Chain A
Amino acid sequence: MKLPVKMTINGQSYSHEVEPRLLLVHYIREVVGLTGTHVGCDTSQCGACTILMNGQAVKCCTVFAVQADGANITTIEGLAKDGELHPIQQGFWEKHGLQCGFCTPGMILSAYQMLERYPKPSEELIRHQLEGNLCRCTGYHNIVKAIEWAAEHMPAKK
């Protein structure tokens, strides 16, 4: 049995018939074909699959595609606008916040929500907020620096 789903991803609308057990992350990667969202574990620990769903940072390995019916989703591919990197992306580049790059999309989207909630986070707060995202390469040092850089360079909210 397949069920219809419809959602907006990075401003484009998609509709498909999917198995009810299909995870949102597999929908995004395999059905829609956006492979920037990664699968690093099977227990929702690593955070490599973090996306923005209706403005919330969500581990999309823990959501069924059918639960996202009608949702507005942003993946890493949708963060840069008109070829211009988002300040968080720029921060990761400037501060060497990535090495192998596998955890990076999830880190960036977690940081996105973090900076929405806490525009000027302390180092301690950044570290605490990153609890749901694992990185094996950087030792987190430069990820913290990257998010601090982004916080300094985010455009002022209107």
Chain B
Amino acid sequence: MATVASDRLFGKSIKRREDPRFITGRGQYVDDLKLPGMTYGAFVRSPHAHAKIRKIDTAAAARHPGVVAIYTGKDMTGVNSLPCGWDLRKEKNIPGVMQDLAIVPHMPLTSDAARHVGDPVAIVIADSHEAAVDAAEKVQVDWEPLPSVTITEKAAGAGAPKLHDGAPGNVAFKWEIGDRAATDAAFNSAPVKVKKRIVNQRLVANAMEPRACVARYDDATGELTLWVTSQNPHVHRLLMCAFVLGIPEHKVRVIAPDVGGGFGSKIFLYNEEVVCSWASRKLKRPVRWTASRSEAYLTDAHGRDHVTDAELALSNDGKMLGLRVKTTANLGAYLSTFAPAVPTFLYGTLLNGVYAIPAIHCEVTGVFSNTTAVDAYRGAGRPEACYVLERIVEAGARAAKMDVGELRKKNFIPKFSGAFQTQVAVVYDSGDYGAAWDRMLQMLDYKKFRAEQEAARKQGRLLGIGFSAYIEACSIAPSKLVGALGAGAGLYESGKVRVHPTGGVTVYTGSHSHGQGHETTFAQIVADKLGIPIEQVEIVHGDTGSIPFGMGTYGSRSASVGGTAILMSLNKVIEKGKKIAAHLLEASPNDIDFTGGQFQVKGAPSKAVPFGAVSLTAYVPHKYPEGLEPGLEETSFYDPSNFCFPFGAHACVVEVERETGKVRILRYLAVDDVGNVINPMIVDGMVHGGIAQGVGQALCEGAVYDGQSGQLLTGTMMDYALPKADMLPMYETDRTVTPTPVNPMGIKGAGETGTIASPPAVMNAVVDALAPLGVDHIEEMPLSAERVWKIIQGAKSAR
């Protein structure tokens, strides 16, 4: 039966509509695609972190059976650099720029030098994957190895080898935010000060599906179709067509089918998809490439890699007076698509946290190094900000000799709705930080825990608790604002609603699901609004051939920005429907109500037509209002007026094994406030996954380069430790609900909260656990058993 307004789906944990194809093995990922005449690409990559290319000899490889073509950078004439989509230059009036961004070239196939291990120099294309890989090994590159630098703090140091002519001293940019003079003044007069070095190590996103693409050029029509593992197919198309290949956008169709996770790493335009697209046009045959996991480690944009000195100034009674932050951010060898935005506007603007800090200053230096390019990874800048703040806050509490919880409560911004002007430019939308915190403490039973901890310590056990009261900016983003900050794009979203004559509805969203469950949550919105069964709603995403230009999925923007665009189109459909219904019912459109799937005359419920009858009339317009166009299809673009600011309070309880240094998580609690929630089951799932990634950062993950050779030591899943089921607990989650006034559904965004909140909670917990040994700070993650064991030994010997 029809779903009516009384059983509203918004807020219900309905099962996901996309799941049946995944649980039966019938998802369609890029690598599953087979096309007639397919060729297979294999890339020849640099084995050196830094080396000049003297000569590339492809003759032997070309003779390998099955080889179709081999291309180097020199063959790709007329092809431009991969673009950087975020500008940080004074001439563009970008606020905070101290030294202009060095916009350095990033060619799809490098032909002068390789600047990191894995830098691609040639593609071998063959009739089979095996032939391509075999032949790629026969390509002879005459390398002249050069000294390399991979370590963040050394990249811009004296004597570091230079990566780019256009970036003297390997400095990519210098940028600041906040009030330097006010912050200095606050520190000069503050009675309590604490300063810590805080390192946010380099991570690899590790979406379970490696990146892949299939490019097919149709010589008959001149059309290129690119299937690619993308979080934002329109952005891929625009950047590739307009900036790199110079081909007409309307002759290119980008399809991102089922995509096996992204976490940011599939936002960016990469070398491989550009090269395969170019080669397919050249060969007039489809070209497929799928990354091996080792290639993924070497080429997927990495995340984080900040080294920070953070200082907090406090009054004697624990009031925060000032925060000073100085960060070096490693951008890797090239500028990835949105790289400069991450350690600047997505980082410095979140340093106010949930606290009323009167003075803040943050200075960031971006540096180039002989490492894989760094860009947005789940949270992107916001986890780094939260990490700095929540670590220094606990260090500050220890310096002020206050309880870490009491100190936080004392400094929370009081409950508000509408606007809170921070010291770092952004204006928060709504918040009740104390409420989330109190709920978390209640779930935890904080007093009881401290008593248990006391008892455990007497037995020599190392039990600890750590907190994290986070805020993040999502629902990205107001186009005008981000334009003024350097973005090369707008950040609205599109939503098209096509009502079919028989009353079914197809919705086209510019956002993209690679695990987020759009086919369910968006359908919930549509079914509610139109009062039709959810089975009559189809959600289409990931195809530039059918969807209006959209910006894709990242920054927890799909529901709040993409969902609002759909809602706007639904409203337009209903408004037009009222005109049609009014004509059928011989009433004025102003007298028509739409409720429960029925258009009815106000005050006369018996005079009504169902949605389906109006849909049919729109396409069979025999009895139809004068001057009204036939059809029932509406498109909207929603550009938010502000970011939304989800927040929450997380806590982690750990026990450290004194003899081995092994950290065991006993409890993990998360109270998140993401505004209104469409599907609680899906939101909980994203919170869980985010927590696991954050715990992974705190306890096991980290991309490590050899300081001498510049080789990536963590280049396989054997070496890069991903969190597994047996190192994680069942998460205890709850929510408070503070709707945002920014969008009509009051949705803030939920995709990144866990990743943002959890690393400091875990780290703070381990510091607390080791406090009886005299440990009051730990600079580096991850807390492998070895690292913790060394800290314990160091603490013992210092006593």
Contact = CB atoms under 8 A, between A and B. Distances in A.
A96 B207 contact: no
Interface in A59-101: 75-77, 79-80, 85, 89, 92-94, 96, 98-101
Contacts of A21: 130
Contacts of A42: 292-294, 716
Given A41-B293, A100-B514, A136-B263, A77 B689 contact: no
Given A19-B130, A94-B15, A99-B515, A40 B293 contact: yes
A37 B27 CA distance: 10
Interface string A35-68: 1111111110110100000000000000000000
Given A19-B130, A96-B681, A141-B688, A36 B25 contact: yes
Interface string B684-717: 1110111111000000000000000000000011
A124 B626 CA distance: 69
B724 A131 contact: yes
B685 A99 contact: yes
Contacts of A98: 19, 22-23
Nearest to A124: B726
Interface string A118-149: 00000110111011011111111111100000
Contacts of B517: 99
B725 A143 contact: yes
Contacts of A101: 18-19, 21-23, 27, 258, 260, 515
B726 A46 contact: no
A110 to B, nearest CB: 10
Contact of A85 (B23, B514, B681): B23
B460 interface: no
B725 A131 contact: yes
A139 B208 contact: no
Given A85-B23, A89-B24, A134 B681 contact: no
Contacts of A94: 15
A11 interface: no
Contacts of A133: 725
Contacts of B208: 38, 40, 46, 48, 100, 102-103, 134-137
B207 A100 contact: yes
B126 interface: no
A93 B15 contact: yes
B25 A76 contact: yes
A77 B20 CA distance: 12
A43 B27 contact: no
A77 B25 CA distance: 5
Interface residues of A, number: 57
B515 A100 contact: yes
A46 B730 CA distance: 21
Interface residues of B, number: 60
B292 to A, nearest CB: 5
B665 to A, nearest CB: 12
B598 to A, nearest CB: 33
A7 interface: no
Given A89-B24, A123-B730, A142 B693 contact: no
Contacts of B129: 30
A121 to B, nearest CB: 12
Given A41-B717, A134-B208, A139-B688, A76 B292 contact: no
A102 B32 contact: no
B259 interface: yes
A137 B261 contact: yes
A80 B260 CA distance: 22
Given A93-B20, A96-B16, A99-B515, A136 B718 contact: no
A45 B21 CA distance: 24
Nearest to B290: A39
Interface string B112-132: 000000000000000001100
B717 A137 contact: no
A98 B209 CA distance: 14
Contacts of B259: 100
A155 interface: no
Nearest to B731: A141
Contacts of A140: 688, 692, 724-725, 728
A127 B29 CA distance: 28
Interface of B: 15-16, 18-29, 31-32, 34, 129-130, 206-210, 258-261, 263, 290, 292-294, 514-517, 681-682, 684-686, 688-693, 716-718, 722-726, 728, 730-731, 754
11 contacts: A45-B718, A96-B16, A96-B682, A98-B22, A100-B258, A104-B23, A126-B725, A130-B724, A138-B688, A139-B688, A140-B692
